[in-house]
Amino acid sequence: MIDAVSNEVLGILDEVLYSSSFIEPYSSTQYHLNTSGHGNRSIKLKLKIYDNINANYSLVDKFADTEILPKSVVKEISINKGIDVTEYDLFQNYPNPFNPSTTIRYQIPQDGLVILKVYDILGREVKTLINDFKTKGRYAVTFDASSLASGLYIYEITSGSFKASKKMSLIK
């Protein structure tokens, strides 16, 4: 987030580093930016992408560096065009083992209610990560286990008639 007049950096929303083993951790991410507290100034949003791998997707909607969006305007930039999700899937968390946080990715081929929960090895619910209506696509959620003890945990997704679970290890 940059002041449109002075070019002063007001804040960094997210710095995502990709590796060849983990290319799409944010394949369907939405940002909602709250600009309250910045007065009536014009603010620019800058997206920087450095590509050192040959990915199968690209940023298809491009905007000029000088374009300024009023605070009340919503602009959607998609990197999912051309990616057609045709089946449900729950991916292995990354990193695994982890300490203290990990990313869990999933995809759904149709709009619907998604419930993603984490359980301890005894089957007790530890946390509900998602209990919300989601549109067709790929998603990633971060699980912060800093308040939990080391051990084996299970995460489970339910969406429509799809249900799947995977194991993950927290090592402190």
pLDDT per position as a tens digit, 60-80: 344 445 555 554 444 444 444
Q: Which residues pair with 163 in a beta bridge?
A: 158
Closest CA to 70 of 47, 91, 40: 40
pLDDT band at 88 (very low <50, low <70, confident <90, very high): very high
pTM score, two decimals?
0.56
Instruction: Look at residue 73 in the predicted model and tell me its pLDDT.
Output: 47
Cα atoms in the 13 Å half-sphere on the side-chain side of 3: 11
Three-class secondary structure assignment of 41-72: CCEECCCCCCCCCCCCCCCCCCCCCCCCCCCC
Instruction: Look at residue 64 in the predicted model and tell me its pLDDT.
Output: 47
**Of 137 and 69, the one with more pLDDT:** 137
Looking at the predicted structure, is the pLDDT value of residue 150 above 50? yes
Domains and CATH numbers, the chain: 1-83 (no CATH), 89-170 (2.60.40.1930)
Token digits of residue 77: 């930039």
Token digits of residue 37: 């507290």
Looking at the predicted structure, is the pLDDT value of residue 99 above 50? yes
Q: Percent of the chain having pLDDT more than 90?
A: 45
